[in-house]
Amino acid sequence: MNQKLKVSIVGASGYAGGELLRILLFHPKVEVHQVTSLDFIDQPVSRVHPNLRGITNLTFSKTQDLTPCDILFITIPNGKSMTLMNQLIKIAPRIIDSGADFRLNSAKEWQKWYGNKHQAPELINKFVYGIPELRKEEIKKANYVAGPGCEAIVSILSLWPLIKNGVIEKERIIIDAKMGSSQSGSSPKLSTHHPERRGVVRSYMPTGHRHTAEVEQELTVGNLKPEVFISATAIEMVRGLLVTIQAFLKQNLGEKEIWKIYREEYKNEPFIRIVKEYQGIYRYPEPKILQGTNFCEVGFEKDNSSNRLVIIGAVDNLVKGTAGNSVQCMNLMAGFPETLGLEFPGLHPV
């Protein structure tokens, strides 16, 4: 395909929308057509995203003023896109929604985890859950993709090879997730106010994390659904997400055998890095060195005194956790190389 894809973004003034715009503006096969915002209509993009000064002359439009495009990205708060989707599908034949509205397979599950009735249940089954490493062929053929939650994608990618190969117990998988502040979005509130957030290590959701539903859904093999328990902690970091997962081996596997399972499963996946070093300070995955990249790093260590396996996963929540993963899905849908526009390797030191 020689002609560039015409793409637009609904909700481009938020952190995820801005990151998506940054990536797409440098994508060689894409033309950014329109970007929308509720709060910054007719204002230049660079006023909200100063890193894009001199890069683009785009201004924010109203959602109602969108005109047809090839692919429409949606990066608006949970619960909003389902109220607009019947109108948005008329604007573009292919849609990638970064929010939670179409991630779960049923309206009943949505109501259970999000507390209100789904407004477009007839569209739920039209969306493919957007993790390329698990659903590559489905995404290639999809018209509508639902991007995963940032905590969900790193947990799923960290656990999938072990679940698929049946080497860990499904009855008790415990995930400790440490979150950077950007995952709470750009709308200010007391919990993100600088005097309240600075220096914090705050357990804000010890139980009942909504991404539990996604993780269990995507790690279900056959009719065997795992039991996943997530605790979330806010830490003083802007970008990044680290999960430390406690799982329990069914048999006494050695670390080399576990390594082989990961390597076999992810050997053709360009954005998965298995990290387990025996020297240096970056021996396990660490969000700091993933800033701005679309990589997910996964590492592990076996407890030699028990059958406990500690799995560690890290991503930049705004890139592989949201915007970069969406572009990876777009590349697959459009028949582009999967890595196109996502080659940035990160910085060190940061």
Determine whether 244 is exposed, middle or buried from the number of CB atoms within 10 Å of its CB (0-12, 13-18, 19+).
middle
**334/332 Cα distance (integer angstroms):** 5
Burial of 23-57, coded b for 16+ CB within 10 Å and e otherwise, reads bbbebebbebbbbbbeebeeeebbebbeebeeebe
Phi/psi for 111 (5° steps) reads -65, -35
Q: Which two tokens stand for residue 268?
A: 């053709």
* Cβ proximity of 73 and 48 under 8 Å: no
Phi/psi for 200 (5° steps) reads -85, 145
Nearest Cα to 311, choosing from 178, 157, 133? 157
Residues with catalytic function: 150
* Cβ proximity of 241 and 315 under 8 Å: yes
Would you give the DSSP letter of residue 249? B
**17/37 Cα distance (integer angstroms):** 10
Residue type, 88: L
Would you give the DSSP letter of residue 246? E
Residue type, 267: K
